[in-house]
Amino acid sequence: MGAEALPHSLRATWGNVPLMVALSDTGWFRHHPLLLQLLRSRLREEHPEQIAGLHARASAWFESKGEWLTALDHAIESGDTALAIRVGLRSATAEFHAGGREPLAAAIDRIQASGPADQAELLVLRAMGAKCRREYQTATDLLARAALLLGDLPEPRRSIAMLNVRIIEAALARVPGDGDRLLGAGLAGASLLAGLEAEDAPGWSNFRGVPSALVGVGYLWSGRPAAAAASLSEARLANAGGAFKEYAELTHAAHTALALVVGGDTARARPMAEGVISAASGRGSAVAPETAQAWLALALILQQEDQRAELERVLTSAEEAAAHAIDPFVDVFLHVIRARHLWLLGEVAGGARQVAQARGVLAEYPGLRYARRACTALAVWGELTIYRSVETAAKILADDDLCEQTRLAQARASSARSNLASPEDAMEADPLTIMRARLLLASGQPQAVREALEDATERPGAIGTCAWVTIALAEDRLRRDARATAAIGRALDASAGEHLLMPFRSANNHRLVEILRRHREVISRHRAFVDEILLVLDGPVACAVTTSLTEPLTEREEAVLVYLPTMRSNAEIAEALGISVNTVKQHLKSVHRKLGVSSRREAVRIAREMNLLPEGIDDGLGSQNGQTSGTRRMPASP
């Protein structure tokens, strides 16, 4: 319909359509779209020279009212490219975090280049548009071109442009799960935004918590949960009264709860996670994407408490929420939790599949440093506890160390190119610390365990508990009963308040029962909790391996052990294996020591409990390779 016919069409509808309605006492009006078309048509016909100025004034008015995309639309319609770019960078790009990505990208595409003076800032806007469309390589290339030109901009234009650059870099770092780069870009963005006045960047001043939230996620992914919780709490406060409030209440609180759990503070994490889920349920769905981290936090707590039935329910909800959320950190940890859950239920193959799936996510998101270490820690635990292979466990750790060194070198080089802070080596709570100590114990080096866990013993929650349990087992191996009893007392002190059973159950060592009984008799502190732990450890636990060797059997020792149920003599065993009788005696002595027994009958009983013997052993078995039946090893590399 042409401009001349439009007024006549509108007049025909005036009698039936309310053209403008006041919105209560807000001072705002809702107008019919046809009215706007009529007014613009008349403006073009009668006062075309006023169009640019009126659009510019409208842009300023809408920007002052927090209508960033509408302000950008009017700035573009004004034909003033410089104005459109300024409004876009200082206000409209903040809509990226409020769900307006498609309209933002479409608006940016409408901005026409005008000359070299605006080229750098327009490149940054184009990069934001590309990120909105998930064109990650295009966004990266545009930022690289902009970086060569931004240094010539005057302030505050340069700081506003660089703020957008850092926010885009942080968003791009989330794509491969690069926590270190996400952290560096977020810190730089937070510093830039702190230096800008509200009138310099009206839109971003309402989203001041965004850089802090990015920093918090970066800290979490990099293994620094205490710093993550602090940054995320800061983000929630910064956004408490702005346009980001509802999003902050759920997403930032969910991430904060997860950071608290990872850091060992389950007492604060539980009510926060439950609050997020309750709030989301009140808004329509308890398994909305923004609740994924809260469900994961609850799953971690329940696993530490060894509440298997409730854990299964929470895991199902967590997986449903995670299916709609883009968070590879959550995906990895859900596989890790389910793998341990299945292994402790005796489903060895199912647990191994979950580990493989976690590694698949990590292959796609190689920058997930802390999640990779957690997956590696579980793999080492599996080798020591389920598969009883010290050699494979050691290789997994060595491979992960090499991977970590390579990744850190690459991250430092990347940070240097982008003028970002260099990533730190140390984690607040490295999941591999406990496993390194367990490997020392399994390798016959109990004297080195306490020193290896010196820092971990100061950690709260499950980490500190696991450290003291491992020290107790090491002291027991060294026959220092008093020190073992004292160490298990420290473990109970760290875990009784929050009812953490898993650190004791996952130790999977038959000597732990004796240490706990001795503590109950000698010290009698936390008696009820000790009784509960003993019930779990002594009772009929459906686990692939109910107890575990502190020092694994060698292949020859396993071969000798296989013959014990057959009641063959030492000479007959020696002949079957092609070794001397004295060698058989030495192997038997070592087997008895490692199993903690003093007779063949006891050795057979304990070996059967530990699944060290194949089913159906008889005199004709003739096994000479010391392999247990059907045992499948995990891949060596993490």
CATH code of the domain in which 584 resides: 1.10.10.10
Where a domain ends, among 207, 236, 264? 207
Helix or strand (DSSP H, E) at 178: none
Q: How confident is the model at residue 626 (pLDDT cuts 50, 70, 90)?
A: very low
442: pLDDT strictly greater than 80:
yes
For residue 429, what pLDDT is reported? 76
CA distance 273 to 269: 6
Question: Which segment of 248-252, 334-338, 449-453 scores lowest on mean pLDDT?
Answer: 248-252
> Read out DSSP for 353-414?
HHHHHHHHHHHH-TT-HHHHHHHHHHHHHHIIIII--HHHHHHHHHHHHHHHHHHHHHHHHH
Domain count of the fold of the chain: 6
Percentage of residues in the chain having pLDDT higher than 90:
53
Q: Is there a domain that residue 372 lies in?
A: yes
- The answer to whether residues 529 and 493 touch, using CB atoms and an 8 Å cutoff, is no
Burial class (CB in 10 A: 0-12, 13-18, 19+), 183: buried
For the chain, helix, strand, coil in percent to 5 are 70, 0, 30
* Final residue belonging to a domain, choices 306, 326, 346: 326
**36 has pLDDT over 50:** yes
21: DSSP letter: E
Statement to judge: residues 344 and 313 lie in one domain: no
User: Mean pLDDT over residues 245-259, rounded?
Assistant: 86
Task: Give the pLDDT of residue 194.
Answer: 93
Residues 33 and 141 in one domain: no
What's the average model confidence in pLDDT over 218-225?
Answer: 92
pLDDT, mean of residues 605-610: 74
Which pTM was predicted? 0.76
The yes-or-no verdict on residue 408 having pLDDT over 90 is no
Per residue in 157-197, pLDDT (tens digit) is 999 999 999 999 999 998 888 888 899 999 999 999 999 99
23 & 111 share domain: no
Bridge partners for 20 per DSSP: 31
99 confidence band (pLDDT: 50, 70, 90): low
How big is the CA angle at 387 (ends 382 and 388), to the nearest 5 degrees?
Answer: 100
| Average pLDDT estimate for 458-470 | 93
Summarize the confidence of residues 277-303 as an average pLDDT: 92
Q: What are the angstrom distances between the C-alpha of 187 and each of 77, 129, 180, 298, 420?
A: 35, 23, 11, 29, 9
Residue 312 pLDDT level (bands cut at 50, 70, 90): very high
Residue 22: strand, helix, or coil? strand
Mark whether 558 and 603 lie in a shared domain.
yes
- pLDDT for 555-571, tens place per residue? 888 888 888 887 788 88
Which helix H or strand E contains 30, and what residues bound it? strand 29-31
Do 459 and 433 form a contact (C-beta atoms < 8 A)? no
Residue 69 and residue 203 in one domain: yes
Instruction: Give, as one character, the DSSP assignment of residue 497.
Output: T
Q: Is residue 10 part of a domain?
A: yes
CB 613 within 8 A of CB 561: yes
Task: Assess if residue 331 is contained within a domain.
Answer: no
> What does the pLDDT read at residue 543?
36
The domain in which residue 37 lies consists of 1-46
Assess if residue 348 is contained within a domain: yes
Check whether residue 244 and residue 360 sit in a common domain: no
Q: Is 218 within a domain? A: no
Residues 40 and 74 in one domain: no
Q: With bands split at pLDDT 50, 70 and 90, how would you rate the model's confidence at 546?
A: very low
Asked if 40 and 56 sit in the same domain, the reply is no
Average pLDDT rounded to a whole number, residues 345-361: 92
What's the token pair of residue 295? 């469900």
Question: For 381-385, 437-441, 626-630, which range has the lowest pLDDT when averaged over its residues?
Answer: 626-630
424 lies in a domain? no
Give the best-scoring range by mean pLDDT among 35-44, 101-110, 396-405: 101-110
Same domain? 394 vs 272? no
Mean pLDDT, rounded, for 50-59: 90
Let me know how many helices (H) and strands (E) the chain has, helices first: 33, 2
**Which of 413, 444, 478 corresponds to the end of one domain?**
413
Averaged pLDDT, 13-34: 56
Using CA atoms, how far apart are residues 371 and 282, in angstroms rounded to an integer?
A: 31
And the tokens for 467?
A: 């450290």
Total residue count of the chain as it appears in this document:
638
**CA angle at 455 for the pair 374 and 179, rounded to the nearest 5°:** 40
Do 321 and 262 share a structural domain?
yes
Residue 547 within any structural domain of the chain:
no
The CATH number covering residue 507 comes to 1.25.40
| Gyration radius (Cα) of the chain, Å | 32
User: Does 131 share its domain with 73?
Assistant: yes
| 444 and 524 belong to one structural domain | yes
